[in-house]
Amino acid sequence: MSDVRNAEERVARQALRERRKKEHIEAVQTLPDQGGTGFEDLVLLPESACEVDVDEVSLNIEFFGRPLRSPVIINAMTGGTAQAHGINRRLARFAQRHGLAMAVGSETAALEDSAAAASYAVVRESNPEGLIIANVGMGADVARAQRAVDLIRADVLQIHWNAAQELFMAEGDRRFRGLLQRFREVARDVTVPVIAKEVGQGMTGPVARRFVDWGARGIDIGGMGGTNFIAVEAWRRGLPLDQEWLRWGVPTAASLGEVLAEVAAEVTIVASGGIRSGHDVAKALAMGAHAVGIAGPLMRLAVAEDSDDALDRWLEDLHATLKMVMVLMGARTVEELRRRPLIMTGRTREWLELRGYLPFVEALSRRDRARASVAGALSEKS
């Protein structure tokens, strides 16, 4: 009897999950980005005497020891349904054409229902040599996390932390105790490096520090300003979307500043949450991020009729802008861009100052000044 009930419950959970995935895709077509990443507070400093040719600019990066042809990562989105199967195949082929890393959506569906596995496995089949990132929720134990990795022969594993989304979701989790211990065990025992990932509410510096101490080898900051999953869940429930507190979280620029100041020297940092243009990408990299993750816009393109062309054009445009900015800043490589000066003003600067990260903000703005001249100016003043 209890076996029958368990089976019934599993089928009901699957049906609910399928509906949720479909509605998430629909919501992202319907709802605008949240806005307010704080990137408007960042100014890249031009190098008027620039001596870089557009053709010599390289966007190559190394990510967890693997070469990539772009700092743009297709961030975690979907899997588990027939529609997701087609979207994942399209995105994986796009990743392969352009040498991008790609994360799959939460693999819980495949872990609970083997019929759903194909919609994730297709990502590896379509891109046998590419860098692929597995994705599980914050409660996954070592066995589940390893199965998620093995299913797609993943190179890296993301563990997403989305308590705010769960609480807004009628059917979401309400119990969060004990998850950190699980994280620590997974980070220690799975066969690939683990990234701790936010999903749009933004991670703070001290939390990133704790994840690193618990074994994270990367942080995806998932800042506020792009896709907002608590608004998505409110939309699914027909709740009003003009409530101020749907803007819950740390805006992307502030989150990135906090996390970089705390742990950038030790682990790989992915900037994400509302990154939309080559100019945004340049700002995130100049702040010090190692790569950027983009989700919402790619989903909107991937469901459109002429997806392949649209995705290619989108990336070409983004890369063209990024290269232009790099030339104007005198940076031939992403590594050089990460050392160019950037000025931070307004609310983001105020935020970081209040949080005790002003030395980081000041160091960013003075990177192009020789140590001796800064020291000289200071001693003249005194």
Residues at the interface with ligand FMN (CB under 6 A): 24-25, 28, 75-78, 105-106, 135, 158, 160, 197, 199-200, 222, 226-227, 272-275, 294-296, 299
- Burial (CB < 10 A; 0-12, 13-18, 19+), residue 205, is buried
How large is the angle between the packed helices 82-98 and 2-30, nearest 10 degrees?
50
Give me 380's structure tokens: 């003249």
* Smallest separation, CB 47 to ligand FMN (Å): 29
Q: What angle do CA 233, 237, 241 make, to 5 degrees?
A: 70
* Smallest separation, CB 50 to ligand FMN (Å): 30
* Smallest separation, CB 77 to ligand FMN (Å): 4
Question: Residue 209: CB partners within 8 Å, gap ≥ 6?
Answer: 262, 263
Q: Which residue is nearest to ligand FMN (CB)?
A: 226
For ligand FMN, give the closer residue by CB, 255 or 348: 255
* Smallest separation, CB 224 to ligand FMN (Å): 9
For ligand FMN, give the closer residue by CB, 52 or 179: 179
Q: 86, 307 in Cβ contact below 8 A? A: no
Query: In this structure, what is the dihedral angle of CA atoms 118, 188, 335, 298, given to the nearest 10 degrees?
Result: 30
* Smallest separation, CB 48 to ligand FMN (Å): 33
* Smallest separation, CB 227 to ligand FMN (Å): 3
Give me 308's structure tokens: 């392949």
Residue position matching structure tokens 């861009």: 337
For ligand FMN, give the closer residue by CB, 207 or 329: 207
For ligand FMN, give the closer residue by CB, 81 or 272: 272
Give me 192's structure tokens: 């690939």
* Smallest separation, CB 345 to ligand FMN (Å): 23
Distance from C-alpha of 131 to C-alpha of 126, rounded to nearest angstrom: 12
For ligand FMN, give the closer residue by CB, 146 or 228: 228
For ligand FMN, give the closer residue by CB, 249 or 288: 249
For ligand FMN, give the closer residue by CB, 225 or 257: 225
Secondary structure of 3-62 in the HEC alphabet?
A: HHHHHHHHHHHHHHHHHHHHHHHHHHHHCCCCCCCCHHHEEECCCCCCCCCHHHCCCCEE
Q: Pairing state of beta strands 342-344 and 72-74?
A: unpaired
Residues recorded for the chain: 382
